[in-house]
Amino acid sequence: MMGYVEKLIELALAEDIGTGDITTDYLIDPVQTGRAVIRAKESLVLAGVGVAQQVFEMLDPTVRIAALHADGTTLESGTSILEIEGKLRCLLTGERTALNFMQRLSGIATHVRSYVNTMNGLPVRLVDTRKTTPGLRTLEKYAVRMGGAANHRMGLFDGVLIKDNHIAACGGILQAVARIRKHVSHLMKIEVEASNLQEVQDALEAGADVIMLDNMNGDQIREAATLIDGKSLIEVSGRVSQDTIVRLAQSGVNIISVGALTHGARSVDISMDILVSAPERYLPAVA
């Protein structure tokens, strides 16, 4: 994961800096040092501390950073998160990129924690989906875990999920499951999406390990759970909100997947303040 994150940081810095930080490079002496404090500006669940650290370390390996809280910690407004000392140019140039990562990831973790708290310990696994920001999936799914939920498959490569379009292309659930079994390991579970009770019956007959009840109403979900009766795991997806999640969790299902854990989260407010030490010299004035 670290090499992947480093590439993301490089892209983000290149996007922001381009050919150079015009403002900072003309105003700040290369040898001038300073100290920065990053603080929460609202109550939040923290995520992305390590990514923010890497931003500054990639700009200047000599920077000194103290992380005051770990990811997954609930913080109140005004709480200090990171203290950074080093070249002032590094601190100013890296500020926005570091904050962007931390605000986005902490926003997801905070949003997820609100769902987890609403469920209040009910024995159902809450998971995310692949509805993530392109390129940021690894980090966003990490933030989901920091918020207290779990991850569904990371991508198309690490889990079998036979969806409606696969079923249509193969001519039915039985045909699709039979075909996929010829190619995947016996250790890999097969999940099948079902949008009605007939498809649930077909998935059971095909021996699906997990049956996803897609966009079913409450009565349909309870009827499907009775039909399945422990023969496979039951996942519910679609029409899930904080207003409905407790009722769904009490309907006999095992897993609830919510795309809004990632795509519905807003970035939280985190800021950086700089304390400047006296420069040893000043750059000459620009005409």
Residue 172: helix, strand or coil by DSSP?
A: coil
Whether residue 68 contacts residue 83, with contact meaning beta carbons closer than 8 Å, is answered with yes
Whether residue 44 contacts residue 103, with contact meaning beta carbons closer than 8 Å, is answered with no
CB atoms within 10 A of CB 85: 16
Q: What is the pLDDT of residue 282?
A: 41
CA-to-CA separations, 191 to 37, 71, 173, 188, 271, in angstroms, rounded: 47, 32, 11, 10, 43
- For the chain, domains (ranges, CATH) are 2-115+267-276 (3.90.1170.20), 121-263 (3.20.20.70)
Token reading at 207: 């021996």
Q: Which residue out of 163, 181, 209, 223 is catalytically annotated? A: 163
Residue 131 known to be catalytic = yes
> Whole-angstrom Cα distance, residue 133 to residue 104?
10
Whether residue 106 contacts residue 44, with contact meaning beta carbons closer than 8 Å, is answered with yes
Q: H/E element holding 200?
A: helix 197-206
pLDDT tens for each residue of 122-167? 999 999 999 999 999 999 999 999 999 999 999 999 999 999 999 9
Q: What is the pLDDT of residue 85?
A: 97
Q: What is the pLDDT of residue 239?
A: 83
pTM over 0.95: no
> Whole-angstrom Cα distance, residue 76 to residue 129?
29
pLDDT tens for each residue of 237-263? 998 999 999 999 999 999 999 999 999
Q: Which residue out of 193, 199, 202, 235 is catalytically annotated? A: 193
Q: H/E element holding 83?
A: strand 80-87
> Whole-angstrom Cα distance, residue 59 to residue 65?
13
- Give every residue of the chain whose pLDDT is below 70, as ranges: 1-2, 277-287
Nearest 5 degrees, angle CA 159-CA 256-CA 188?
A: 20
Q: Which residue out of 131, 153, 181, 222 is catalytically annotated? A: 131
Residue 263: helix, strand or coil by DSSP?
A: helix
Q: Which residue out of 96, 125, 130, 222 is catalytically annotated? A: 96
Q: Which residue out of 57, 199, 214, 235 is catalytically annotated? A: 214
Residue 60 known to be catalytic = no
Whether residue 177 contacts residue 162, with contact meaning beta carbons closer than 8 Å, is answered with yes
Residue 214 known to be catalytic = yes
Q: What is the pLDDT of residue 284?
A: 45
> Whole-angstrom Cα distance, residue 245 to residue 120?
11
In eight-state DSSP terms, residue 265 is P
Whether residue 210 contacts residue 233, with contact meaning beta carbons closer than 8 Å, is answered with yes
**Residue reference for tokens 């109403």:** 217
